[in-house]
Amino acid sequence: MKIIGLTGGSGAGKSVVAAEFQKLGAGIVDADAIYRKLCDENLDMLSELENEFGDILTIDKKLDRAKLANIVFSDNNKLKKLNEITILYIKKASDERFKVLKDKGIKIAIYDAPTLFQTGTDAMCDGVIGIIADRNIRIERIIKRDNISENAAKARIDAQPDNKFYYDRCQYIIENNVSHETLQNQVKQLWKKLVK
């Protein structure tokens, strides 16, 4: 089974692209979804995060993601520390999902992971697709999706790599600035290359 990384900044459209690949027959492993599940269930990880960042758990001992976001998105060192703690848990859970897909006979698995390069998990991929979009489009999408202020959306984007970062590191680039139809066509063309 080929593992193809899918990465890009917040609001670039990774989940939309992943959904298009899934329609074409790819298996999907979503690092963010795994992380969200771990934030609700993995007591070891939550304990480590609480030790590092302080009062970040809700009354029912789940991660208060908004509180943690406020801490890490304003400080690159804290963001780096967050990635260092969570990556081991995410990687273990991801490996389990890949095994399930492989056992099902899936030929290509898309690993949807926003911090693929920052966490070194690109090493487990046979190739990486970078999804990029113009800054203003990303800001609009983040505000709409997460119901946050424009300043909070800008802070999130500013804490993440720019488009050049993805151009320099990814084998494939998909630009997601225009219509959904154009995006679908880009995905279909890339899928043909991947399944060869």
Give how far the C-alpha of residue 42 lies from the chain's centroid of Cα atoms, to the nearest Å: 19
What CATH number is associated with residue 57?
A: 3.40.50.300
Of 1-10, 45-54, 98-107, 152-161, the one with minimum mean pLDDT is 152-161
What pLDDT score does 119 carry?
A: 85
pTM for the model stands at 0.86
Domain coverage including residue 55: 2-195
Which residues are within 8 A (CB) of 17 and not within 5 positions of it... i.e. 6 or more apart?
6, 129, 131, 174, 176, 183, 187
d(CA 51, CA 42) in angstroms, rounded, equals: 14
DSSP H or E segment with residue 69: helix 65-72
Q: What are the pLDDT digits (tens) for 47-59? A: 999 999 999 999 8
**What DSSP designation does 63 have?**
B
Name the domain count of the chain. Answer: 1
**What DSSP designation does 162 have?**
-
Using an 8 Å Cβ cutoff, are 177 and 137 in contact? yes
